[in-house]
């Protein structure tokens, strides 16, 4: 039986090769696409970078499985490679997905367009309405898909309820844990079958790599890997090294970002130039009580609507000094974007607004700056 370790200890030590390779404290970059064979082996036993089984990959797989509490893990070339390989491994033509409304724009598009073209249907439901889940359920519903905190409104669904609901009906529960990271929520401990991440974001944390991750039951991860092997979305060795590097500081980064995001959210809510702030740490947030019960922190993300509409939002972006107007999230610098122009631009504007994503909504990924400096920068940028 393995000795139980704390999260921070596992982030540093889990998956590290023992004995150390050439006595190197940091796991080396194995910049090799292929590895010498030792006799006749099966296809899945070949060491080849596309098969995600080089020493660079294996170290990450062990670390990610440990920190999320899963049996196995898989790293991929992007978050969407992780999501698509999981869903394509679980679904066949004629199957049906129930998904929480308000998902990340590209995930929404994958369900609405790409999977629909394959004959896979979907129904979007409120994350806190079991009656709606029941009405949406069909004999061929195979997957219940959700996010820990939705992008960009930070809604928190009844996550344990979703996992239990899917399991009772023989379906697979899949959750995107990117916004919370395992520092603030560990879905497998709440009954979820598969966890996916855009590892580009908090897991890497340095805005310098694109990657994804799948963690969960060994059989489900193996199925996603077989799909990924054929689709080719493997992570290259240098990106593996960067992700490995980022994971070691995940906990300290996320906790700092969450603390700063809470301070910024409170300041924005009190600002006369702001109409509404979306952050689960605020008592005014619709899911505050649920988030407080489920999460060990409220994350480094928030969004808000400035008074004055899209013109005011554009003016705000142009005045920022510390905040960078750029998509993505989870890096050391504060990133600020309009989802209507970036992450959710592909959605029909009517659908986007029906989800509560106003054209002027500003999404903020809080970085590692001093909280007081960020609050001051946002205040000056919001001046009329």
Q: What residues are labeled active site?
A: 50, 104, 176, 201
Cα 234 to Cα 78: distance, rounded to the nearest angstrom: 9
Q: Distances from the Cα of 297 to the Cαs of 3, 44, 56, 179, 244, in angstroms?
A: 26, 40, 31, 11, 23
Q: Which of 245, 279, 239, 241 is nearest to 259 (CA)?
A: 279
Please, are residues 288 and 278 in contact by the beta-carbon 8 Å criterion?
Answer: no
Query: Do the beta carbons of residue 183 and residue 297 sit within 8 Å?
Result: yes
**Measured in Å, how far apart are the chain's first and last C-alpha atoms?**
62
Q: What Å distances lie between residue 308 and 257, 351, 363, 382, CA to CA?
A: 28, 22, 16, 11
In this structure, the dihedral spanned by the alpha carbons of residues 277, 282, 286 and 289, taken in order and rounded to 10 degrees, is 170
State the DSSP H helix or E strand holding residue 188, giving kind and residue range, or none if neither. Answer: none
Tokens of 15: 């998956």
H helices of 141-201, in order, are 159-168, 181-184
């Amino acid at each position: 039986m393995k000795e139980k370790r704390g999260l921070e200890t596992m982030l540093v030590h889990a998956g590290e090769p023992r004995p150390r390779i050439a006595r190197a404290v940091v796991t080396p970059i194995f910049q090799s696409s292929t590895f010498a064979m030792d006799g006749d082996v099966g296809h899945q036993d070949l060491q080849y970078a596309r098969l995600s089984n080089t020493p660079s990959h294996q170290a990450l797989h062990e670390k990610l499985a440990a920190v999320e509490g899963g049996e196995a893990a898989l790293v991929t070339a992007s978050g969407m490679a992780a999501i698509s390989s999981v869903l394509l491994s679980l679904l066949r033509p004629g199957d049906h997905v129930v998904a929480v409304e308000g998902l990340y724009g590209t995930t929404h598009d994958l369900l609405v367009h790409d999977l629909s073209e394959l004959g896979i249907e979907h129904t979007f439901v409120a994350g806190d309405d079991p009656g709606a889940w029941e009405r949406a359920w069909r004999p061929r519903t195979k997957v219940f898909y959700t996010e820990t905190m939705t992008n960009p409104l930070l809604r928190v669904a009844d996550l344990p309820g979703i996992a239990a609901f899917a399991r009772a009906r023989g379906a697979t529960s899949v959750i995107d844990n990117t916004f919370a990271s395992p520092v603030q929520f560990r879905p497998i401990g709440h009954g979820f079958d598969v966890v996916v991440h855009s590892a580009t974001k908090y897991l890497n944390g340095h805005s310098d790599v694109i990657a994804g991750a799948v963690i969960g039951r060994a059989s489900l991860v193996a199925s996603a890997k077989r799909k990924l092997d054929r689709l080719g979305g493997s992570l290259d060795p240098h990106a593996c090294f960067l992700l490995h590097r980022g994971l070691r500081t995940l906990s300290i980064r996320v906790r700092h970002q969450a603390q700063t995001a809470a301070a910024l959210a409170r300041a924005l809510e009190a600002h006369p130039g702001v109409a509404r702030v979306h952050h689960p740490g605020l008592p005014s947030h619709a899911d505050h009580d649920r988030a407080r019960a489920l999460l060990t922190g409220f994350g480094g993300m928030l969004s808000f609507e400035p008074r004055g509409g899209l013109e005011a939002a554009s003016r705000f972006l142009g005045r920022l000094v510390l905040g960078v107007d750029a998509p993505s999230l989870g890096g050391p610098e504060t990133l600020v974007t309009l989802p209507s122009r970036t992450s959710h631009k592909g959605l029909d504007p009517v659908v986007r607004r029906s989800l509560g994503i106003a054209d002027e909504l500003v999404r903020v990924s809080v970085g590692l700056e001093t909280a007081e400096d960020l609050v001051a920068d946002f205040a000056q940028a919001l001046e009329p």
